[in-house]
Structure 1
Amino acid sequence: MDFQLIHTDAKSSARAGIITTDHGLIETPIFMPVGTVGSVKAVHISELKNDIGAQIILGNTYHLYLRPGLEILRQGGGLHKFNSWDRPILTDSGGYQVFSLSDNRKLNPEGAEFRSHIDGSKHFFTPEKVVDIQRIIGADIMMAFDECTPGNADYNYAKSSLELTEQWLDRCLKRFAETECPYGHRQTLFPIVQGCIYPDLRKRAAENVASKEADGNAIGGLAVGEPTEKMYEMVELVNEILPKDKPRYLMGVGTPANILEAIERGVDMFDCIMPTRNGRNGQIFTKNGIMNMRNEKWKDDFSPIEKDGASFVDSLYSKAYLRHLINVNEILGLQIASIHNLAFYIWLVKEARKHIIADDFSLWKSKMIENVTRRL
């Protein structure tokens, strides 16, 4: 993987760049739709490409390991061939999923023992195994195995958790250096900066990660319960340390406003389940604010979902029709909402890129945050 920094905004740390992988180019800042089990929920591959404009999607190591399983993925030629997505893929290491199974997992220096959320069967992830799984999945960008520390963790827990993550990172990097992609394309491994909300731990973690000289770096353990301002503070601190010539990926974040604030602080890559999950629950993000499509006020509003919107569904369907579909639990409603929200998120980061290159990002961002946080 290669990264070229194209431009940095004159009045902020916002950056525009290009990531080059064997499956294509990624223009940053970028938002990556989440395809946890090998598909972005309710969205067809052709819609992701042509209507939404996704340049890269995510898969998840934990979920794909459980279903369909490694043998099927191997026989299928990796996830790119299995799901017919010929553009870049990034895989989460499964660390967050193991974190979310707090009642059904045990951590020790060797790895993480957990029980499947599907059938209760027992499994054990080591850093080496997580690298091997991601090799078989075939992701262009792989994540190091880490412990995602809760946002409200006390200092001693966060410190011991970071020490474990750092030990696991060294083992991941060693295993990565010893192995190759079984499908012939280049793969890369991103370390993850942890440290909860404690500045000294985040500084230590960022310095350690920077010393590894990886192709890119991730910031994890944020948007997991800590105050929003603490998240921004940690992002700013970490990005002062992480190398400027490598892409920075803020994992699992977030709202449109979160993304714009993080871009201003120097983040290049984002993912979040919010556009699809919230869309399936009737929440629509637009350039002028947020709509709850279950509200009575949209019942007889026959105007487009969004005027001059980012996707074909915006002008094709009315607010009244989308409200009807969502209220009767029609699958088409979930599809329309998911397509719209993903297209909006990707439109947002593309607009951010334009304004970074034009050196007026901060001015545009201030106005846009007012719009996207408004309740309609």
Structure 2
Amino acid sequence: MGGFSFEKLGQDGKARTGVIHTPKGDIRTPAFMPVGTAATVKAMMPESVAATGAEILLGNTYHLMLRPTAERINNLGGLHKFMNWSKPILTDSGGFQVMSLAGLRKLTEEGVTFQSHIDGSKHHLTPERSMEIQRLLGSDIVMCFDECPALPADRDRIAESMRLSMRWAQRSRDAFGDRLGYALFGIQQGGLEQDFREESAEALKSIGFDGYAIGGLAVGEGQDAMFGCLDFAPDQLPEDKPRYLMGVGKPDDIVGAVKRGVDMMDCVLPSRSGRTGQVFTRRGVINIKNARHADDPRPLDEHCTCPACRNYSRAYLHHVFRSNEMIAGMLLTWHNLHYFQEIMQGMRDAIAAGTFDAWEADFHAMRAQGDIDPI
């Protein structure tokens, strides 16, 4: 079995394109990772997710440890076999969900004790336990256990939280050990503060990781603040390792992040939006619920090759969504995931060709046109 490595193939400005090599397959970057929270990308078959161009999925440690449990998944042959996905899987550490979803929780130097949002049962999550859970799942890219404070927070709170996360990063590294073919990513914290981000990056580099994530953004601070932070944060991380921006985002967030040197992203948006009737297209966002689509025989996007656009009209998609038919969420999710992967492919090609600025200008100009005129 081979190891894990990152190969940079091209750069245009700060935007990079490359390949992450893993024993379970290559991941072309910049890469968008669909989120398979509970061992499924909602409303999609795994082979359909692969057909959109996705080369890696994200699984949620917090959700899977509670149900069906990491031990059960391990006994059943690991997460890849369990969910019928043979390509790479990245798992988050559980830290963010504990902070945002869990019931009563108590944070100490040791870790977090919390109550399950499902049944109120008590659990204890530490860096060591997070590493054990992710090992039991068989995750290819493992994330450090960290604490992510909600923004806005004062500088003292941000500094205290970041330094705790750095101590937990060292414990995660120690517990992860040396596992050929598997990768451990550190997570940079520090809010929007450049000096804390720098301190965090230096701490992570001295520990040494296979990749580096930018955590604690896309938590409600707004795009301008996020881009302001991304103007310096990726540059603080090693040039020769993948950089992963966690939890991002909308199409223009993704393009802006890649422009600033980010290689990997994940977000529930394309799948969640598909289930609520929000459709992403090259001409902006469409709400399929709107009455204007009821008699429209045209596809969502005449240039799109996904099954929703190839085989169904806006009128049909409007009808099945209004009728609460399952196929609505399936087709709209497929379209959204396809479109997100199309953006990634467009950026990879443009960076390789040295035409990223022109591609980006075209991307924004197309979206600014808005949807095609109603019939």
TM-score, normalised via structure 1 length? 0.95
Q: Tell me what 1:188 maps to.
A: 183
Whether 1:168 and 2:168 are equivalent positions in the alignment is: yes
Q: Tell me what 1:299 maps to.
A: 294
Native 8 Å contact 1:310 1:347 kept in 2 = no
Q: Measure how far apart 1:345 and its partner are.
A: 0.2
State the SS of the aligned residue for 2:233: helix
TM-score, normalised via structure 2 length? 0.95
Within the candidate set 347, 350, 353, 2:342 is matched to 347
Q: Percent identity?
A: 44
Instruction: Tell me the distance in 2 between the aligned counterparts of 1:366 and 1:277.
Output: 27
Instruction: Tell me the distance in 2 between the aligned counterparts of 1:258 and 1:206.
Output: 22
Native 8 Å contact 1:101 1:114 kept in 2 = no
Within the candidate set 8, 11, 15, 1:5 is matched to 8
Q: Tell me what 2:94 maps to.
A: 94
Question: How do residues 142-161 of structure 1 correspond to structure 2 at under 5 angstroms?
Answer: 142-161=142-161
Question: How do residues 279-298 of structure 1 correspond to structure 2 at under 5 angstroms?
Answer: 279-298=274-293
Q: Measure how far apart 1:278 and its partner are.
A: 1.0
Question: How do residues 297-376 of structure 1 correspond to structure 2 at under 5 angstroms?
Answer: 297-372=292-367, 375-376=370-371
Native 8 Å contact 1:149 1:194 kept in 2 = no
Q: Tell me what 1:116 maps to.
A: 116
Instruction: Tell me the distance in 2 between the aligned counterparts of 1:138 and 1:374.
Output: 45
Q: Measure how far apart 1:105 and its partner are.
A: 1.4
Instruction: Tell me the distance in 2 between the aligned counterparts of 1:103 and 1:69.
Output: 18
Instruction: Tell me the distance in 1 between the aligned counterparts of 2:299 and 2:44.
Output: 20
State the SS of the aligned residue for 1:110: coil
Whether 1:221 and 2:216 are equivalent positions in the alignment is: yes
In structure 1, the gaps of 5 or more residues are: none
Q: Tell me what 1:234 maps to.
A: 229
Aligned partner letter, 1:39: T
State the SS of the aligned residue for 1:153: coil
> CA offsets per residue over residues 9-28 of structure 1, 9 Å max, x none?
1xx20001000001000000
Q: Measure how far apart 1:123 and its partner are.
A: 0.4
Instruction: Tell me the distance in 2 between the aligned counterparts of 1:320 and 1:368.
Output: 27
Aligned partner letter, 1:347: E
State the SS of the aligned residue for 1:303: coil
Instruction: Tell me the distance in 2 between the aligned counterparts of 1:297 and 1:320.
Output: 9
Aligned partner letter, 1:61: T
Aligned partner letter, 1:273: V
State the SS of the aligned residue for 1:240: helix
Q: Tell me what 2:26 maps to.
A: 25
Instruction: Tell me the distance in 1 between the aligned counterparts of 2:154 and 2:367.
Output: 34
Q: Measure how far apart 1:103 and its partner are.
A: 5.2
Q: Measure how far apart 1:212 and its partner are.
A: 2.6
In structure 2, the gaps of 5 or more residues are: none
Q: Measure how far apart 1:370 and its partner are.
A: 3.5
Instruction: Tell me the distance in 2 between the aligned counterparts of 1:363 and 1:211.
Output: 38
Q: Tell me what 1:275 maps to.
A: 270
Native 8 Å contact 1:305 1:315 kept in 2 = no
Aligned partner letter, 1:211: S
State the SS of the aligned residue for 2:227: helix
Q: Measure how far apart 1:367 and its partner are.
A: 2.3
Question: How do residues 63-78 of structure 1 correspond to structure 2 at under 5 angstroms?
Answer: 63-78=63-78
| Change beyond 3 A, Cα 1:92–1:373 | farther
